[in-house]
């Protein structure tokens, strides 16, 4: 096979990032934007030693899983990977990926429970961070670069975000405000930031700037107020003057409102500050937490909630639990967690700001007893030292592991197994429809 060859190929599998895969003369060929069951004529773009990439030029026989693509920037913006196939098939793909990864890396001998599918596969996200294009339009970085693909109305975002994006772009263009250029590090506007409480309707608007002030900020505030009225609870400037890919800087200046919003998650009123982690899909986070509670059986238990963000998982179990201790590294999230406990009349929860491994070790040295440990780490998973402290030090009855990356979860599953904890059950939960991501919640018990 050579570059520019025209080949006919039938798609038999799909990769984690949504690319169809077929075999040609025994070699795997990745053909983006195809579905299992498609027969296509494709042009070979690149040939490697064991696989190749090709572009579908004509569909000879379409797969029954195909759907009409409803987004003009699909496959360019770096967000969705599954808009060309139906949602049920997407769930099957995610289910299989979780099963296969746990089998291959985690050496798990049994399949996950059926994936908990999303009720809405569109307009579910409560947070957006748009880079600003040189002309003031908002959009997303293209797949492998920092070129902005304009898209003010993303189908994953609520309609309110499109309205706010429009207002912002008009404001930038009218006042000729400069846009940050990564190569020269000049210009003011870096990102536009939105958060939305699905249960409360509250909106936070943020502008990430390379500087300390936004010219005519009150004009922007007025236009947002006219559009959103009382639902507009905060307009903030986030100061980021560093030459970095990290989007948010450390400092927030509130130019309007209270500087945070509220939402409700599993009955808990949650305060969300600009920097606090908050699950992006409220409806599905509730299902995830419900499953986590089913696994944890918090009744009368002492719970340690590691990587707790604004405290939401632990707080959602606090009314039944005997005690909750949360650990989180971002100090503003810890502050939110403490306030969240107070506002919900929860008196049996406390929160520690620090690295999960260090804090766990200290708690263990202090002789703290826990019955259930919840682990909800970022994508890189847990340090082995933390798993050791949890499994051998605390030796709880149960560990409930919530993961947003099945590869690191599978690795950690094998480690927990060595430390005497057995995986009893695991369930994928689709918090991120149309994207390549999937969440998994697991129950481990002491052998
Ligand atoms: N359980 C929370 C947050 C999960 S996201 C929820 O469901 O909303 C993972 C969290 O881990 C983030 O809040 C992140 O700030 C925090 N984190 C990342 N590294 C950490 C570390 N080394 N120690 C403690 N927390 C950490």
pLDDT tens digits along 24-62: 999 999 999 999 999 999 999 999 999 999 999 999 999
Task: Ligand 1, residue 276: give the atom nearest the CA.
Answer: 13
Q: Is the pLDDT of residue 144 over 90?
A: no
Ligand 1 neighbours (beta carbon < 6 A): 277-279, 307-309, 312-313, 327-330, 333, 355-356, 376, 378
Q: Is the pLDDT of residue 143 over 90?
A: no
CB 325 within 8 A of CB 303: yes
Task: Ligand 1, residue 355: give the atom nearest the CA.
Answer: 23
Task: Tell which residue, 313, 301, 302, 307, has the closest CA to residue 327.
Answer: 307
Q: What separation in Å is there between the alpha carbon of 120 and the centre of ligand 1?
A: 26
Q: Is the pLDDT of residue 16 over 90?
A: no
Task: Tell which residue, 129, 119, 123, has the closest CA to residue 158.
Answer: 123
Q: What separation in Å is there between the alpha carbon of 27 and the centre of ligand 1?
A: 41
Q: Is the pLDDT of residue 75 over 90?
A: no
Q: Whole-model pTM?
A: 0.94
- Cβ neighbours around 385 below 10 Å, total: 12
Our mutation pick for probing the ligand 1 site, out of 272, 276, 277, counting the most ligand atoms within 8 A of Cβ, is: 277
Q: What separation in Å is there between the alpha carbon of 381 and the centre of ligand 1?
A: 10
Residue 54, pLDDT score: 97
For the chain, state the CA radius of gyration. 23
CB 159 within 8 A of CB 323: no
Q: Judge whether 404 counts as a catalytic residue.
A: yes
Q: What separation in Å is there between the alpha carbon of 137 and the centre of ligand 1?
A: 32
Structure confidence at residue 92 as a pLDDT band (50, 70, 90):
very high
Q: Is the pLDDT of residue 18 over 90?
A: no
Tell me the percentage of the chain whose pLDDT exceeds 90.
Answer: 96
Task: Ligand 1, residue 288: give the atom nearest the CA.
Answer: 7
Task: Report the C-alpha gap between 109 and 103 in whole angstroms.
Answer: 6
Q: What separation in Å is there between the alpha carbon of 376 and the centre of ligand 1?
A: 7
Q: Active site residue: 71, 151, 404, 442, which one?
A: 404
């Amino acid at each position: 096979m050579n570059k520019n060859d025209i080949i006919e190929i039938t798609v038999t599998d799909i990769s984690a990032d949504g690319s169809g895969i077929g075999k040609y003369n025994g070699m795997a060929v990745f053909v983006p934007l195809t579905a299992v069951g498609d027969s296509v004529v494709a042009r070979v773009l690149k040939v490697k030693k064991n696989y190749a990439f090709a572009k579908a030029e004509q569909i000879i026989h379409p797969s029954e899983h195909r759907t009409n693509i409803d987004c003009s920037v699909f496959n360019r913006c770096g967000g969705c990977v599954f808009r060309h196939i139906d949602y049920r098939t997407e769930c099957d793909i995610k289910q299989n990926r979780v099963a296969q990864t746990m089998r291959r890396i985690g050496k798990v001998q049994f399949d996950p429970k059926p994936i908990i599918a999303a009720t809405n596969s569109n307009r579910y996200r409560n947070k957006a961070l748009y880079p600003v294009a040189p002309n003031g339009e908002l959009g997303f970085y293209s797949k492998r670069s920092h070129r902005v693909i304009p898209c003010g109305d993303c189908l994953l975002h609520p309609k309110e975000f499109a309205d706010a994006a429009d207002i912002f772009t008009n404001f930038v263009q009218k006042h000729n405000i400069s846009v940050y250029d990564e190569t020269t590090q000049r210009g003011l506007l870096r990102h536009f930031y939105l958060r939305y409480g699905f249960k409360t309707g509250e909106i936070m608007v943020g502008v990430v700037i390379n500087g300390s002030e936004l010219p005519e900020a009150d004009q922007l505030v007025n236009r947002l107020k006219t559009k959103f009225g009382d639902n507009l609870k905060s307009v903030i400037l986030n100061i980021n003057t560093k030459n970095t890919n990290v989007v948010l800087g450390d400092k927030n200046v509130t130019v309007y409102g209270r500087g945070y919003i509220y939402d409700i998650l599993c009955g808990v009123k949650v305060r969300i500050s600009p920097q606090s982690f908050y699950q992006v899909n409220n409806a599905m986070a509730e299902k995830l937490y419900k499953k986590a509670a089913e696994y944890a059986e918090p009744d009368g238990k002492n719970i340690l909630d590691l990587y707790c963000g604004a405290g939401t998982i632990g707080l959602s179990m606090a009314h039944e639990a005997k005690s909750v201790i949360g650990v989180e590294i971002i100090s503003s999230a810890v502050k939110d967690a403490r306030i969240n406990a107070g506002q919900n009349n929860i008196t049996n929860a406390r929160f520690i700001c620090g690295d999960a491994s260090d804090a766990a070790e200290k708690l263990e040295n202090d002789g703290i007893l826990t019955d259930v440990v919840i682990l909800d780490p970022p994508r890189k998973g847990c340090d082995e030292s933390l798993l050791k402290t949890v499994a051998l030090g605390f030796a709880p009855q149960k560990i409930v592991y919530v993961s947003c990356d099945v590869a690191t979860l599978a690795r950690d599953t094998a480690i927990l197994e060595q430390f005497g904890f057995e995986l009893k059950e695991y369930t994928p939960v689709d918090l991120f429809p149309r994207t390549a991501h999937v969440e998994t919640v697991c129950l481990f018990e002491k052998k």
